[in-house]
Amino acid sequence: MEQFIYYLKVSLISIRRAPLPYALTIFILSVGLGVFFANATFYYQLNSDPLPEKSDKLFFPMLNLVPYECSTDCRTPRVLSYSNVEKLSQTDIPSQAAAMYSADGYLRQRADQTPLPVSIRITQRDFFAMFDVPVLHGSIWPDNSARPEVILTKATAQKLFGKSDVVGEKLLLDDRNVTVSAVLDDWQMLPRLYDANNRNHLSEADDIYLPLETGYDMNYLSNSQSQTFDDTDYRQLSTQGRTGALHQLQYWVKLDTPAQQQAYRQFMTNLVQDEKAAGRHPSPPNNQLVAMRDIVSYFGGDSSDIKAFALVTLLFLLVCLFNASHLSLNRYLSNQYEFSLRRALGASRSQLQLQMLADVLIMALFTITGALLTGYGGIKLMNNLLPANRLFSDWDLTLLLGLLTVAVICSYLVTLYPSLRASFGSLNQQLKE
């Protein structure tokens, strides 16, 4: 140990000898790795499984149940109409099920206050159990019927009341009376796969939750995706929205066993057959039942620019690595005489390699610090540039360890090759002069 501390000291002394090229090496590596880190974070979060225990049990059913015949693009719509969901709900095969959409609204305590703009997830009771949403105070709605009760996130409760335990408090949601029935604990599913629209996977969770029936009663229209296949007046959502072909609902069911999944598929097939027979399904049947685990790849049509960007950052990292090892090689070559001297004084190759290990360690330390800072800055920058794809700067342990490993490997590559070249060069040459 004492000897290794000595090696570390020797490394530091040799850095002090030419600090500028060393700093430049670290800088280049940090920038390359930082950009890579930011992109890797993005990629990792986009592709991670937020509910690994149940992502193969949660399913997203889609039907081609629309009142017109498709001619060219017969892809099943991602969203369902209210009546579609009603029909899909008429079975007890799923252990849990929830339809949902999102809307914008304004919230305040009293009419004389400035309202707080909020994003509303309009959904059903099972949403919270299905997606493991933690409840801090109060309780979730007991059933799916309409009720003027909202569930707040902790942050929204804090913003409105300055405290989190606000169950029973009255609020005005777009100037209609609602009561707080529960407050959620901090929660963020990432990527936010339940919102299966392939765009907002990295955005924040909504501020408040409203029962689906109440949402329709209050004429809330979806703010992310809605399609009408008839002349439904969206201002008459409470009436026409429930019967017409306004498609805006995402629907999730929990199917615990393969048998249940098979049964539900059959149920969908039967449903579509009945609808066809009744003349309400003019298009060819194209039922889909996609597990949450596969939802990204199912909708993954537009991730090619993300892939291209990843490739560019990887190339950038390679260029940085190349430059850094070039700089590092120069540094070692100018120190080559010292390698020879140490050999002449009896240092074995393995002892010199320990010295290099100390070099690697110190370089890794600097590089990791630099790369984490640059990476963090890069993420902040990307968040500002692409607010729609808001990226979270959280690094979980797996990702962080992965990134650190990459940084150490890069430091190792940048140090190893040059130092090997310097230390295996002709031993005596420098000493003779």
Partner 1 sequence: MITLTNLSKIFRTELIETHALRDISLQINEGEFAALTGPSGSGKSTLLNILGTLEQFDDGDYQLDGKSVKGLSDAALSKLRNEKIGFIFQSFNLIKDFSIYDNIELPLRYRGLKPAQRKQRIEQALELVGLHARRSYLPSQLSGGQQQRVAIARAIAGQPRILLADEPTGNLDSLMARQVMELLEQINQQGCTILMVTHDPDQARRAGRHIQIIDGQLSDAVLYDPLAAQSA
Q: Which of residues 400-429 bind ligand ADP (CB under 6 A)?
A: 426, 429
CB atoms near residue 196 (< 10 Å): 24
Q: Taking CB under 6 A as the rule, does residue 188 contact ligand ADP?
A: no
Options 123-131, 173-181, 295-303, 335-343: segment touching partner 1 (CB under 8 A) = 335-343
Beta strands in 257-367 (DSSP E): 288-291
- φ, ψ for residue 246, nearest 5 deg: -90, 110
Q: Which of residues 408-427 bind partner 1 (CB under 8 A)?
A: 427
HSE-CB at 125 with a 13 A cutoff on CA atoms is: 11
Helix (H) or strand (E) holding 306: helix 304-334
Instruction: Please identify which residue in 92, 231, 432, 433 interacts with ligand ADP, judged by CB under 6 A.
Output: 432
User: Whole-number minimum distance, CB 23 to ligand ADP, in Å?
Assistant: 35
d(CA 118, CA 105): 5
Options 124-132, 244-252, 342-350, 399-407: segment touching partner 1 (CB under 8 A) = 342-350
User: Whole-number minimum distance, CB 38 to partner 1, in Å?
Assistant: 38
- Rank residues 312 and 344 by Cβ distance to ligand ADP and give the closer one: 344
Instruction: Please identify which residue in 75, 176, 307, 349 interacts with partner 1, judged by CB under 8 A.
Output: 349
User: Whole-number minimum distance, CB 335 to ligand ADP, in Å?
Assistant: 19
Question: Which of ligand ADP, partner 1, none sits in contact with 307, Cβ below 5 to 8 A by type?
Answer: none
Neighbouring residues of 139: CB distance < 8 A, sequence distance ≥ 6? 181, 182
Burial of 277 (0-12, 13-18, 19+ CB in 10 A): exposed
- Rank residues 124 and 340 by Cβ distance to ligand ADP and give the closer one: 340
Question: Which of partner 1, ligand ADP, none sits in contact with 110, Cβ below 5 to 8 A by type?
Answer: none
d(CA 90, CA 233): 26
Q: Taking CB under 8 A as the rule, does residue 351 contact partner 1?
A: yes
Angle of the 336-344 helix axis to the 397-423 helix axis, nearest 10: 70
User: Whole-number minimum distance, CB 430 to ligand ADP, in Å?
Assistant: 10
- Rank residues 16 and 432 by Cβ distance to ligand ADP and give the closer one: 432
Instruction: Please identify which residue in 277, 278, 345, 388 interacts with partner 1, judged by CB under 8 A.
Output: 345
- Residue of 163, 152, 141, 166 lying closest to 116 (CA atoms): 152
Q: Which of residues 1-30 bind partner 1 (CB under 8 A)?
A: 2-3, 6, 13, 16-17
d(CA 36, CA 409): 14
Question: Which of ligand ADP, partner 1, none sits in contact with 326, Cβ below 5 to 8 A by type?
Answer: none
d(CA 420, CA 189): 47
CB atoms near residue 165 (< 10 Å): 14
User: Whole-number minimum distance, CB 429 to ligand ADP, in Å?
Assistant: 5
| Residues 27 and 409: beta-carbon distance below 8 Å | no
Residues that bind ligand ADP (CB under 6 A): 426, 429, 432
Residues that bind partner 1 (CB under 8 A): 2-3, 6, 13, 16-17, 337-338, 340-351, 427-428, 431-433
